[in-house]
Structures are given as C-alpha cells and as structure tokens.
Amino acid sequence: MANLVVQRDFISREIIKPSTSTPPHPSTYKLSTFDQTSTSCYVPILLFYNNQAPNGSSEVMEISGILKNALSNILNRYYPFAGKIKGNTSIDCNDTGAIFSVFHLKNKLVDILIQPDLNILDILLPDALPWSNWKNGSLLEICVSFFNCGGFSIGMCISHKIADAYTIQLFLNDWAAMTKQPDIELRYPHLLEESAFPPGNRFTLQESQYPRGRNPVTRRFVFSPLKIANLKARVVSSSIVQNPTRVEIVTAILYRCLLKASKINSGSLSPSTLIIAVNLRPRVVPSLPYNSIGNAAWPFMLLINEEKKMKLDMLVAEMREGRRKFFENSKNMKGSQWFSVVQTALANLKSMGNLYICSSWCRFPFYEADFGWGKPTWVCISKSPFCNTIVLLDSKNGDGIEAWIILEEQVMSTLEGDDELLEHALLNPSIR
C-alpha cells in the first residue's frame, strides 16, 4: 500500500532474563569458526498473526505477558542468547537477558498485508537493529506490535554471531511451543560451540563482509507454484537436468536475470560468482543433531564467465554439480579442517569477480510457529543495506517462494523491467 503511515504508541520495554539459573551452564560459550567468520549484523524476521486471541481475549497485556513468561523460560535452554559477546571469540553467559518491547498500532493488520510497503517493516522490528552491526548490545531483541484489529506481529533481531537461519527457526518454534503449552517437554538444543568447528589457534579470523553498494534497494518477487512448475518444465525439456527443485529453479532464473541486468548496466558480461549457502548439519559425517544451534552453514560457488553458461538449464546443471561436489567433500571434512576451508575461501573472494550471495530459508518451518493464536499469516524479513543479496523464503502455502533481492538502485531498475523475470514472478503482491 503506497504512502502508508504507521501510527503507534509505546507501551513497554523490558529486559527478559532466564527464569532460573538451573540447570547450571558454563559461564563462557566459545564461538566456532563459522560463528567467528559470520557478519556481526542483526538478522531480522517478522511474523504476522491474525486476530485469534486466547480464550476470546485480545488484551495486549495478557498476550505480551504470556509471551514474556515463555521467553524467560526458553532462555534457560538457549542461555547463550541472553549473554554478551566478548571480542570475537566467545560469549559471556551472564544472563544479561533479551530486550522485549511492546507497541500498539492504530493501523489494521490488513494495511500492512496489502502490497506491503517494505520501507515501513522496520517500524515493526527492534529500533535501528535490522541488518545493523552488533555494538555491545543484547544479542536478542524482540518487538511485539498489536494492531487495532486484534492481530499482532512479532519482530525479532538476533546477532548472526550466534544464529543462522536454521537456528532462528528452531528458537522461534521452541519459544512458540512453550508459549502455547507451558508444561511441554522440549528437547534441549545442542550447542555447537567451537568443538564442532574449531577455529585456528595461530591467528584470529576476520569476519566476512557482505558487499555494500551505493543506494542499495530491496524488492520482493513472488513465484507461485504454477510459475515454478512452468520453469521446471522448461528446464526438463532440455534433458540436461531432471527433477529440478523449487530452490534450484528460482535461484537459477534469478541469477540469470541478475547477470543480464549487470551486463546491460556495465556494457559487458563480467565474471560473476554466486555464493550459495548450505546447511551443514545433515551433510557432515557424522551428521550434527537436528537441533544444533549456532552457525553451521557454508557456501559452494557458482562461477559464470561465459554467456553460454547463462542458459537456464545450464545454470541449474552447474548448480547441481557444484552442490554434489560440495556435499561429497563435506563428508570427508573433520571439524578442524573447516578452518582451512574458510580461511582459503575468504582469501580468494577478491578473485571471484562480481559476488552475489544467495541464502535459502525454504523448508525451514517458520510458518509452524504457533504461539497459541494460530500459525503466522505472513513471515518476512526487511529491506537490507547489503548489495547483491538474495534471500528465499517459503510462501504461506509452502509451494511458492518469496525472493527478497537487494541490488544497487540502477541495476535493480533494470531487473524490474526484465520481461523474463516478470513472466514468472509478481513484484510485491498482496499477502493472501
């Protein structure tokens, strides 16, 4: 909705500490190689809920009180989230707590969901934190906003130093389960720490940096199940790749269109590398527990330096082969060896041409986060200052994909006019 004005009233801001210090936990949580090399920014996520209040009540204080009590209890299990980072190597698990803010909005939820204005989503997240660098503040902050219609949103920002997207969905679903059923028996999360992926002891790794450009802008493109099926049929007809996945197809078409837009703006095709993040938990040998928290993702690379490789079927084929090799190599890697892999990759970034980063959050069950008032009606992130970045999320039906793309303004303007992309994706449609 264009020119949407959000009016809100501040209600409260509290520090939520773990409800008890038992069972006792180590005072220091040592960061792994992947934690140390993750960017220090806060990763935002927003979940919107319709007006389904407990016991027929939509009282703000009642709902926020239930959420805060469950948050305090779940922080007993996720105790590093309530601590403070020391340098770039560890977390002081001192139960400092998480920040929890509550607001009342004079708008209705539908105002947000009709052609969402991406510029106003930050208002529903903890102030000034989305994608900003961590500066000795709380590692976890939450903002709950109640709409006039009775619906509400839960906006969360968490430091990337302690959580990847997989960790975020684990935490949200555990918090939701404990909110809905306080006496539920939940399995304690498995803390990865440095023992899983030990950092080298000769020197301290510098954290990786996402590319930042001039005037970055964020756009949301939505691929319906039907359009994804059409793209799959187009690729399968070439006989190069059979049974491409949703994520492979959407990633390939986006990368193809990004390369075309970059070529139009620069006048020629420059060597470009797509960095595709992969969840390592089920890939390493032995596999990590499904409830492992921390950073356990690393990418494989897709280098394109010839126009003939820009064909959709070839991009999918190259992507699948790169993923296969990555998975095969992962099986042979031991914890300490990942340090050398990370070190080499970071040293070679400058030789990879134009860098694009793709992170898929698809199949992570964010839409299962039921706090007792039903499942989310929409899950999203927010606009970002990082350039050449793609984040993929499931649409609510689970079969479509929302692609959040961040590019320099001039390149984005070209991308938005790409007929091939617009044939298969809608630009920022309403939430249904």
Cβ–Cβ under 8 Å, residues 342 and 319: no
Quick one: residue 226, left, alpha or beta (phi over 0 = left, psi -120 to 50 = alpha)?
A: alpha
Query: Quick one: tokens of 23?
Result: 């069972």
Q: Measured over all CA atoms, what is the biggest interatomic distance in the chain, rounded to whole angstroms?
A: 62
Cβ–Cβ under 8 Å, residues 250 and 394: no
The Cα–Cα gap between 340 and 298 comes to 13
The Cα–Cα gap between 305 and 227 comes to 28
Q: Which of 160, 164, 394, 424 is catalytic?
A: 160
Give the single-character DSSP code of 116.
-
Residue whose pair of structure tokens reads 């897709």 in the numeric block? 302
**Listed residue (9, 38, 153, 46) closest to 402, CA to CA:** 46
Q: Which residues touch 306 (CB under 8 Å, ≥6 apart)?
A: 269
Strands (DSSP E) contained in 280-319 are 292-293, 297-304
- Does the annotation mark 370 as catalytic? yes
- Does the annotation mark 418 as catalytic? no
Q: Which residues touch 346 (CB under 8 Å, ≥6 apart)?
A: 37, 205, 206, 208
The Cα–Cα gap between 279 and 297 comes to 5
**Listed residue (141, 392, 385) closest to 253, CA to CA:** 392
The Cα–Cα gap between 324 and 54 comes to 47
Cβ–Cβ under 8 Å, residues 98 and 158: no
Q: Which of 95, 117, 313, 370 is catalytic?
A: 370
The Cα–Cα gap between 269 and 271 comes to 7
Catalytic residues: 160, 370
